[in-house]
């Protein structure tokens, strides 16, 4: 049975490991393909927590924001600011020696022809980058172009591209300003390439970075290189954004200051992004650091990543690590919950997940974006489900063991049952010690059982045995066996005590009174009168297990046991109800001898089958204060007087 139980548990554990790995693999494969799910929302929130924990960081030098702020709008008298004024701003930036100029704004409507022409000339002279917008269908779609296949990526497909009007459209380089935001509106990625028809359109930040570097970007399988800077990219050729802090982290100059001829030194040799920051322009996003983060600074963050190779690292390699964690962590959790002791298993079950979360937090400080939501989703449901099943099975097992122990205790004294449960090898080797032995039986039972019949005899014996068991428990005795209308009790099990003899005598006196009271309440006829006989002896016994290997019982053997059983014959011949050996009385001590003052003093009697006589005490179960007299009462009187 234990082998079968272990085999069953191993099968359950193996099945749970397979299911845990399959669940983690399913979620991990979904994540590896970059498919959207509810986990992305959780991951986005945890990414913000990690970003706040990692803290603010100084952006790289070389990027300046020229803000069309509230002061610029106020002085211009309108927003968008007049294109003549914007042309003047671009020319001043060019004259100040800007390394690259990017206008984060859309020219979707025509203005005055002369103003548009002047702005187009300024853009052409500066070789500035201007923005366009990609529009997508409601269902997100990805391309499978030859370039996408070569890069092992899927590119987003635009349904329509909204470009600047002429003549601005022909004057500068156009970059798509789209940003990939999560459900809360927080920018997470910048898609560097967007497919429109047969064309691949670069994003705004990629155009600006390439212009500043003076070289075309080198597109590789999982990253992009611009000049000497290499940036890791996520699936779909998306650049992960790592914001440096709240708005204003980049050096920011008011456009009005530039128009007034100031801050030329701050412009020279730097990438300049021109965009709106004025209140009410609606070009803001919520980030972990700032709920009103200007869109121009989002583009500046992307440019900073591309020109320095910074930003977050979330690519195919990190997703593969996430995939491995989503399989390994739930398996380790299940294996921990399979430990023999469920309490230890629960303590260790989620330790791997905690370690992983610590690694994820540390990695984020080093700009590695490892998944937090995916391992949680793979591990927690698995661990909770299997843990609940394991606890349920454990409770069932405990309930089964409890029922088995209760059933076992019905055949053994509670003290002995508890001892064997704690020490299954109890009395595998015989033990020799002193112990008290008590025998009890009924006289007249044979005639009564004939009168009662089988069922009523069974009920009668059940009451009789219950009284014996109650008295044995009261005095910490062990009922070695019930023998029909008799029983054998041992005092000294499971371990010997100094008062074993005293408890045996007290138990005999109490048992005698209880049985006499019970018999008196049976209302038996004179033809079926019952009597009791109790014999107690004390001395050296051997405690051991007897029986076959498949069926054993704990018992006491030796001359003391035989003599104690013969004392019932002595009680019958002398007309006594209770007979104590003088050895038991002596071992109990003088205080117990005082309790026996209504008994006859010790006298020597012959014991059937034994060569030497034995000194015994005679008494009645309900004896009063008066001295009782039994046949041959003078035998052994002197010994009793000196006891």
- Per residue in 449-495, pLDDT (tens digit) is 888 889 988 999 999 999 999 999 999 999 988 888 899 999 998 88
Residues 242 and 130 reside in one and the same domain: yes
Residue 418 falls inside a structural domain: no
Q: Please check the confidence at residue 401 and state whether its pLDDT lies above 50.
A: yes
pLDDT at 199 over 90: no
Asked whether residue 417 is domain-assigned, the answer is no
- Residue 633's pLDDT band, with cuts at 50, 70 and 90, is very low
Of 309, 328, 360, the domain-final residue: 309
Structure tokens at 499: 């008062």
| The two structure tokens encoding residue 496 | 């010997």
Res 310 pLDDT > 60: yes
Does residue 82 have a pLDDT over 50?
A: yes
Task: Provide the token pair at 425.
Answer: 């090898």
Asked if the structure places residue 444 within a domain, the reply is yes
Specify the 3-state DSSP secondary structure of 268.
coil
- Regarding whether 87 and 159 lie in a shared domain, the answer is yes
Given a cut of 60, whether residue 629 has pLDDT beyond it is no
Among 244-253, 292-301, 442-451, 470-479, the range scoring the smallest mean pLDDT is 442-451
pLDDT in tens, 15-40: 888 998 899 899 888 888 887 788 88
Q: For 457, how many CA atoms within 13 A lie in the half-sphere containing its CB? A: 13
> 171 and 28 in one domain?
no
Structural domain boundaries enclosing 336: 2-41+317-399
User: Looking at residue 411, what is its pLDDT?
Assistant: 65
Q: Distance between terminal CA atoms of the chain?
A: 57
Number of residues assigned to the chain: 643
Q: What CATH number is given to the structural domain containing 498?
A: 3.30.70.1230
Query: Does residue 611 have a pLDDT over 90?
Result: no
Give CB contacts under 8 A, 24+ apart, made by 392-400.
393/12, 394/342
Q: Residue 198 has what pLDDT?
A: 85
Q: With bands split at pLDDT 50, 70 and 90, how would you rate the model's confidence at 64?
A: very high
Report the candidate in 477, 475, 445, 458 with the shortest Cα–Cα distance to residue 572.
Answer: 445
Residue 483 falls in which region: left (phi positive, over 0), alpha (psi -120 to 50) or beta? beta
- Provide the pLDDT for residue 522: 86
3-class DSSP state for residue 120? helix
Angstrom CA distances, 362 to 31, 53, 174, 357, 380, stand at: 21, 10, 39, 9, 21
Residue 360 falls inside a structural domain: yes
Share of the chain above pLDDT 90, in %: 50
Asked if 433 and 575 sit in the same domain, the reply is yes
Asked whether residue 603 falls in the same domain as residue 622, the answer is yes
Partners of 534 in the beta sheet?
440, 578
Number of domains observed in the structure of the chain: 3
Q: How confident is the model over 526-578, as pLDDT tens digits? A: 777 888 999 999 999 999 988 777 777 888 999 999 999 999 999 999 889 99
User: 3-state class of 341 per DSSP?
Assistant: coil
Q: What is the pLDDT of residue 643?
A: 33
d(CA 293, CA 285): 5
Mean model confidence pLDDT for the chain: 85
- Cα torsion angle, 386, 391, 395, 398, sign: positive
Evaluate whether residue 48 is within a structural domain.
no
Q: What pLDDT, in 10s, does the model give residues 151-185?
A: 445 788 888 999 999 898 888 899 999 998 888 88
């Amino acid at each position: 049975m234990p082998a079968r139980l272990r085999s069953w548990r191993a099968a359950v554990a193996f099945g749970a490991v397979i299911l845990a790995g399959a669940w983690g693999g399913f979620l991990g494969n979904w994540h590896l393909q970059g498919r959207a799910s509810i986990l992305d929302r959780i991951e986005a929130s945890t990414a913000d927590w990690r970003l706040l924990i990692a803290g603010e960081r100084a952006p790289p030098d070389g990027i300046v924001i020229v803000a069309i702020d509230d002061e610029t709008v106020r002085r211009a008298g309108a927003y968008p600011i007049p294109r003549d004024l914007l042309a003047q701003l671009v020319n001043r930036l060019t004259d100040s020696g800007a390394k690259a100029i990017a206008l984060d704004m859309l020219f979707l409507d025509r203005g005055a022809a002369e103003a548009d022409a002047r702005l187009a000339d300024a853009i052409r002279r500066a070789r500035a980058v201007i923005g366009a917008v990609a529009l997508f269908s409601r269902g997100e779609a990805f391309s499978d172009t030859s370039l996408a296949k070569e890069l092992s990526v899927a590119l987003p497909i635009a349904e329509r591209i909204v470009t600047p009007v002429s003549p601005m459209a022909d004057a500068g380089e156009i970059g798509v300003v789209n940003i990939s935001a999560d459900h809360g509106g927080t920018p997470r990625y910048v898609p560097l390439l967007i497919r429109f028809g047969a064309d691949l359109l670069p994003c705004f930040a990629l155009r600006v970075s390439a212009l500043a570097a003076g070289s075309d970007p080198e597109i590789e399988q999982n990253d992009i290189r611009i000049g000497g800077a290499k940036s890791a990219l996520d699936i779909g050729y998306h650049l992960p954004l790592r914001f440096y802090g709240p708005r204003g982290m980049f050096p920011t100059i008011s456009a009005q200051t530039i128009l007034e001829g100031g801050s030329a030194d701050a412009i020279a040799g730097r990438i300049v992004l021109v965009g709106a920051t004025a209140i009410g322009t609606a070009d803001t996003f919520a980030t972990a650091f700032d709920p009103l983060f200007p869109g121009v600074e989002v583009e500046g963050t992307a440019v900073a990543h591309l020109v320095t190779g910074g930003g977050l690292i979330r690519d195919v390699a990190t997703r593969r690590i996430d995939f491995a964690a989503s399989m390994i962590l739930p398996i380790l959790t299940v294996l921990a919950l399979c430990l023999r002791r469920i309490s230890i298993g629960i303590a260790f079950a989620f330790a791997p997940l905690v370690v992983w979360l610590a690694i994820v937090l540390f990695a984020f400080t080093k700009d590695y974006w490892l998944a937090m939501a995916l391992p949680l989703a793979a591990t927690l449901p698995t661990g909770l489900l299997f843990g609940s099943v394991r606890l349920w099975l454990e409770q069932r097992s405990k309930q089964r063991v409890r029922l088995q122990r209760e059933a076992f205790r019905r055949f053994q004294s509670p003290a002995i049952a508890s001892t064997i449960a704690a020490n299954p090898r109890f009395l595998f080797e015989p033990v020799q010690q002193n112990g008290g032995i008590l025998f009890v039986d009924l006289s007249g039972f044979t005639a009564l059982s004939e009168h009662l019949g089988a069922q009523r005899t069974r009920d009668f014996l059940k009451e009789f045995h219950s009284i014996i068991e109650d008295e044995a428990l009261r005095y910490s005795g062990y009922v070695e066996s019930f023998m029909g209308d008799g029983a054998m009790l041992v005092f000294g099990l499971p371990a010997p005590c100094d008062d074993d003899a005293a408890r045996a005598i007290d138990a005999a006196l109490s048992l005698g009174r209880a049985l006499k009271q019970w018999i008196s309440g049976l209302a038996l006829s004179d033809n079926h009168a019952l009597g009791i006989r109790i014999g107690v002896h004390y001395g050296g016994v051997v405690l051991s297990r007897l029986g076959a290997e498949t069926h054993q019982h704990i018992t006491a053997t030796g001359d003391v046991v035989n003599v104690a059983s013969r004392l019932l014959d002595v009680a019958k011949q002398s007309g006594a109800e209770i007979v104590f050996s003088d050895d038991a009385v002596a071992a109990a001590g003088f205080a117990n001898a005082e309790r026996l003052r209504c008994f006859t003093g010790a006298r020597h009697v012959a014991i059937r089958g034994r060569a030497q006589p034995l000194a015994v005490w005679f008494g009645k179960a309900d004896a009063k204060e008066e001295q009782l007299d039994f046949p041959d009462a003078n035998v052994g009187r002197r010994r009793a007087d000196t006891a």
